[in-house]
């Protein structure tokens, strides 16, 4: 497709890499032709790249195969997921999840994207509810000052929580940032 036909959220292949278009702006240069100042997010590693694409250039639009999987359990060799439609099981290594593996609980629903049969990315839900297994005792009067303390969750993840949170509480954590959201 021509660069003039691109849209936000579209998946493309540019310079041999896979990207999602975050935003673009049509810019008219003085003597030269028009260009699109484009912000692209890499599908494989999430890095942001800026690209200048001439309006007459052709870019390759790609379609990603997105399927829902359920996380079942982990082994030393990898993590076992089950396709929600066909019930086929696949094994993914730690690299596929990045930091997200510390939020995995059995029966968590994931979105797995692939391109031409090759796994591209695993998307966790935006938030997960996890039980606090260990944290320092509550400090009287500290809630008014907004202090935080570390808490170890049932998956081994460590997050900063308000001082009123105690072992046994269930907290909601944002998987994108690793921040505490609320007590459930």
- CATH number, domain of 18, equals 2.30.30.30
Average pLDDT over residues 178-182: 92
The total number of residues written for the chain in this structure: 184
In whole angstroms, how far apart are CA 72 and each of 105, 124, 128, 130?
8, 14, 16, 16
Domain boundary among the residues 61, 79, 100 is at: 61
Percent of the chain with pLDDT over 70: 96
Does residue 111 have a pLDDT over 70?
yes
pLDDT tens digits for range 135-152:
988 777 666 667 889 999
Domain boundary among the residues 11, 37, 61 is at: 61
Does residue 14 have a pLDDT over 80?
yes
Beta strand pairing status for 17-28 and 11-14? antiparallel
> Quick check: 150 and 119 in contact, CB under 8 A?
no
Query: In this structure, are 51 and 69 located in the same domain?
Result: no
SS3 for 184? coil
Domain boundary among the residues 98, 123, 148 is at: 123
pLDDT tens digits for range 112-130:
888 887 777 788 898 999 9
> Quick check: 38 and 23 in contact, CB under 8 A?
yes
Query: In this structure, are 134 and 177 located in the same domain?
Result: yes
**Nearest C-alpha neighbor of 146 from the set 160, 131, 132, 158:** 160
pLDDT of residue 142: 61
pLDDT of residue 74: 86
- Mean pLDDT of all residues belonging to the chain: 86
Does residue 32 have a pLDDT over 80?
no
Domain of residue 175 covers: 127-183
The CATH code of the domain that includes 78 is 2.40.50.140
Report the C-alpha gap between 133 and 158 in whole angstroms: 10
Q: How many domains does the chain have?
A: 3
């Amino acid at each position: 497709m021509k660069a003039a036909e691109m849209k936000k959220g579209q998946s493309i292949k540019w310079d041999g890499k896979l990207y999602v278009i975050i935003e673009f702006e049509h810019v008219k240069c003085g003597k030269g032709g028009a260009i699109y100042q484009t912000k692209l997010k890499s599908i494989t590693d999430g890095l942001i790249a800026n690209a200048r694409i001439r309006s007459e250039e052709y870019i390759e639009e790609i379609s990603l195969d997105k399927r829902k999987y359920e996380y079942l359990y982990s082994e030393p060799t990898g993590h076992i997921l089950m396709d929600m439609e066909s019930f086929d099981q696949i094994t993914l290594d730690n690299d596929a999840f990045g930091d997200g593996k510390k939020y995995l609980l059995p029966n968590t629903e994931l979105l797995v994207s692939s391109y031409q049969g090759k796994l591209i990315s695993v998307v966790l839900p935006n938030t997960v509810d996890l039980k606090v297994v260990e944290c320092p005792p509550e400090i009287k009067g500290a809630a008014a000052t907004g202090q935080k303390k570390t808490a170890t969750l049932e998956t081994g993840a460590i997050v900063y929580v308000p001082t009123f949170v105690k072992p046994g509480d269930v907290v909601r954590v944002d998987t994108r940032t690793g921040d505490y959201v609320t007590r459930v």
